């Protein structure tokens, strides 16, 4: 295979997502499950993240509605303004050193 080239579609193998993954063997029963609250939290965070694409926000809204959390898709107007202006909500905290005069 030549260096730094792409494979054509004809030679690319694709495993359907419906097939179970191999390699877990007897430890399959110990596989951790996703916490739906954390998944929903990630989608909700993507709605107000300024680095998320428009398509990503649309996907997050769709997934939240599919999970039955349609009311969580609302993004406040202030968040939209901050995203448009590129203002982040994290503030840099400067610590002041106190000098004691003896």
- Whole-number Å distance between alpha carbons of 41 and 45: 6
**11: enclosing H helix or E strand:** none
User: Would you say residue 14 has pLDDT above 70?
Assistant: no
Q: List the chain domain ranges.
A: 32-81
Mean pLDDT on 35-52? 92
The pLDDT score that the predictor gives to residue 33 is 84
Mean pLDDT on 55-74? 94
Residue of 4, 5, 68, 10 lying closest to 37 (CA atoms):
68
Mean pLDDT on 78-102? 74
């Amino acid at each position: 295979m030549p260096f730094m080239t792409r494979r054509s579609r004809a030679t690319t193998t694709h495993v359907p997502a419906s097939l179970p993954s191999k390699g877990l063997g007897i430890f399959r029963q110990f596989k951790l499950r996703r916490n739906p609250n954390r998944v929903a939290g990630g989608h909700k965070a993507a709605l107000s993240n300024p680095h998320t694409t428009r398509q990503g926000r649309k996907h997050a809204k769709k997934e939240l509605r599919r999970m039955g959390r349609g009311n969580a898709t609302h993004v406040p107007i202030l968040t939209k303004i901050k995203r448009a202006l590129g203002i982040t909500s994290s503030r840099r905290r400067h610590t002041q050193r106190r000098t004691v005069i003896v």
